[in-house]
Amino acid sequence: MAAGEGRRVLVTGGSRGIGRAIARSFAEQGDRVAVHWGSSRDRAQQVLAELPGEGHLLVQADMTDAEAVGAMVDRAAEDLGGLDVLVNNAGVFTAHPPLETSYADWQAAWAQTLATNLVGAANATFRAVPHLIAAGGGAVVNVSSRGAFRGEPNNPAYGASKAGLNAFAQSMALALAPHGISVTCVAPGFVQTEMAREVLDGPGGDAVRAQSPFGRVARADEVAAAVLWLASPAARFSSGTIVDVNGASYLRS
């Protein structure tokens, strides 16, 4: 990357919610962003249209399809002229309480959740590494969850996938540091997004907000701010860390 140029950034799951806020935060810094989408092209195009600056693009892949993920990462790097930052944000959250779910639905939930949230992120990282090395180093930031620590009784595959993502990130932090690449995680609690609106606007919304002593849930831009710092050169020596963005709703030792 030439001096004075913005970074080249790939954000998976960039068509809504946290991913949308992350893409905007990088663009506001003067970076060029590849916005990945899985099934919502219209939403992704809307995000692309609202990003400040120029040189942004859309890339598509089903995160459960290893070949599609690899091709998507390579295309993003090619069209951006390289890659400096990968943000693994794409994820799914499917309710499957163990005492209320059929065995077939249980299997489907685990397969889809792990394939998207964990294996998809691992595949994207694997394919991004050569591009990051070619750029002289960079950052991988993974969007995890407080559910990796406190447990998700109605969504156990989700909690397990995010715990696995944390462990994966720390393993990769060790493997990639010699190449100048940091690997980190941000672990939000509840975030005010469209996906969470049904819960937050429903009868249980006040109880969710009361989990934090701030009396509210996180904003997507607050999660994006943590991602932006973790991706910065100033945070390189924090590689391997997991930053909580949950308003002290869950404190871990």
Structural domains in the chain, CATH included, are 8-245 (3.40.50.720)
Which are the contacts of 242, defined by CB distance < 8 A and separation ≥ 6? 144, 166, 169, 184, 185, 186, 187
Chain segment 133-163, per-residue pLDDT in tens? 999 999 999 999 999 999 999 999 999 999 9
pLDDT above 70: residue 232? yes
Token pair of 66 as six digits: 């290893």
Q: Within 13 A of 51's CA, how many CA atoms are on the CB side?
A: 32
- When comparing pLDDT for 2 and 142, which is higher? 142
Find the catalytic residue in 26, 149, 158, 190: 158
- pLDDT for the residue 2: 43
Helix (H) or strand (E) holding 140: strand 138-143
Contact present, 172 and 182 (Cβ < 8 Å): no
Alpha-carbon distance of 4 to 199, in angstroms, equals: 44
Average pLDDT score over residue span 193-209: 87
Bridge-based pairing of strands 191-192 and 181-188 is unpaired
Q: Would residue 250 show up in a list of annotated catalytic residues for this protein?
A: no
pLDDT above 80: residue 195? no
